[in-house]
Amino acid sequence: MADSKSAPRPLKPSTMMMGHGYDPALSEGSLKPPIFLTSTFAFENAAAGKRHFEGITGKRPGGADGLVYSRFNGPNQEILEDRLSIWDGAEDALCFSSGMTAICVLMLTYCSAGDVIIHSGPLYAATEGFVAKTLAKFGVSYIDFPAGASSEELDDVIARARAQAADQGGKLAMIYLESPGNPTNALVDIEAVSAARDAALGTDHACPIAIDNTFLGPLWQRPLDHGADIVVYSLTKYVGGHSDLVAGSVAGAKKWIDPVRMLRNTMGGIADPNTAWMLLRSLETVELRMSRAGENAARVCAFLKGHPKIERLGYLGMIDDARQQDIYDRHCTGAGSTFSVFIRGGEAECFRFLDALRIAKLAVSLGGTETLASHPASMTHLSVPDPRKVSLGISDNLVRISIGIEDADDLIADFEQALDAV
């Protein structure tokens, strides 16, 4: 941490990604952190061992003050967590073996039998499934609201959730958001959600607002600045950024993160040392990669926009709804590089387009260095019932694209020839 202390002014996150939280003198002068492959850590003496366990078990507040056992913590993971906190302006962060592990452990931490969880829709399909099927087994129910909801709709959904919780002998346990929604790209007004929650519950409550920021974070949206309490990531996407690892994280104030850490200590699910090391490497370039991908997406969308074979685009840089534009202007600093293309026709036309692509690869996922394309209706969202598909706008002519960091002109030429083949 010497870098932040000796600096004459606060350093920017990109600068801090090179050294923050790591002291080479503790590792034989190794400029980069070694990968610490160990399952356990030697205590200096018995009293230190006792002190560490008092922290781990919660007998003493503040958590472990040293390294104990690799299901709880490790050097690579702790450096990663320090650096992840910086991007979101969070007090603390925790890394997990996948985005879904992070989400499941977070929800299990905050929800008890009888409780109600409010969530925006649509959510990542596995998250929706976890809420609707798994949490339901433990007596936790949910109410969802459409991503673009107004303040009045938010007040109403909170009132309904509290009434439902009272009926079930529980409480409103969490408001869980995902913004933008996939594949609609509908934005949630985090500031309005926070104002509605505070108006209903006051300041002394146990109902955090958590948000999955995978699509725009950490560069283009900082939810903690807009009233969210906990920010969630699939680090598999932009943060990892090279389509070569799976990991997740949560970040926020210590008071919200400490209980999650306790359950992670019990269940496991911490990212392994090798993955944590890979993520440290990824974080050094995350701003470069995301900036380039965002610029590429803007150029590709400018090309696609007027194309005769394209009906419309779902791209945050070209919003046609005034309320959504207002949310965007208040919350986002960039339009991202993942968007929807509605091709004139249906599945057959989309498949011809996808099969003709040469540079863009046909795969689900997003946020990698390479451009990916997929067909949600027949792939990621195949199991979504038809009426819900219609209400979410997941039509047969929708292609989902995540733009990478290739040369923009090469990408445009690839999309042009693929559209010719439609």
Ligand X SMILES: *Cc1c(COP(=O)(O)O)cnc(C)c1O
Q: Enumerate binding residues for ligand X (CB under 6 A).
A: 98-100, 124, 178, 182, 212, 214-215, 234, 236-237, 246, 248
Strands (E), 85-140: 92-96, 116-121
Q: Which is nearer to ligand X, 166 or 364 (CB)?
A: 364
Q: What are phi and psi of 141, to 5 degrees?
A: -110, 175
Give Cα separations from 117 to 76, 99, 154, 400 (angstroms). Answer: 33, 19, 13, 29
Which residue stretches of 186-333 are H helix?
190-201, 254-267, 273-305, 322-331
Which residue's C-beta sits nearest to ligand X?
Answer: 99
Q: How far is the CB of 19 from ligand X (least distance, A)?
A: 27
Q: Which is nearer to ligand X, 15 or 365 (CB)?
A: 365
Q: Which is nearer to ligand X, 35 or 126 (CB)?
A: 126
Q: How far is the CB of 214 from ligand X (least distance, A)?
A: 4
Which amino acid type is present at position 70?
S
Q: How far is the CB of 183 from ligand X (least distance, A)?
A: 11
Q: How far is the CB of 62 from ligand X (least distance, A)?
A: 29
- Count the helices and strands in the chain (H runs, E runs): 15, 12
Q: Which is nearer to ligand X, 248 or 336 (CB)?
A: 248
Which helix H or strand E contains 143, and what residues bound it?
Answer: strand 141-146
Q: How far is the CB of 417 from ligand X (least distance, A)?
A: 29
**Block residue for tokens 């939280």:** 21
Q: Which is nearer to ligand X, 215 or 220 (CB)?
A: 215
Give Cα separations from 375 to 222, 278, 351, 393 (angstroms). Answer: 29, 30, 8, 13
Q: Which is nearer to ligand X, 90 or 232 (CB)?
A: 232
Q: How far is the CB of 37 from ligand X (least distance, A)?
A: 23
Handedness of CA 388, 117, 332, 276 (dihedral sign): negative
Q: Which is nearer to ligand X, 22 or 110 (CB)?
A: 110
d(C-alpha 79, C-alpha 386), whole Å: 45
Q: How far is the CB of 247 from ligand X (least distance, A)?
A: 6
Retrieve residue 168's tokens: 């079930």
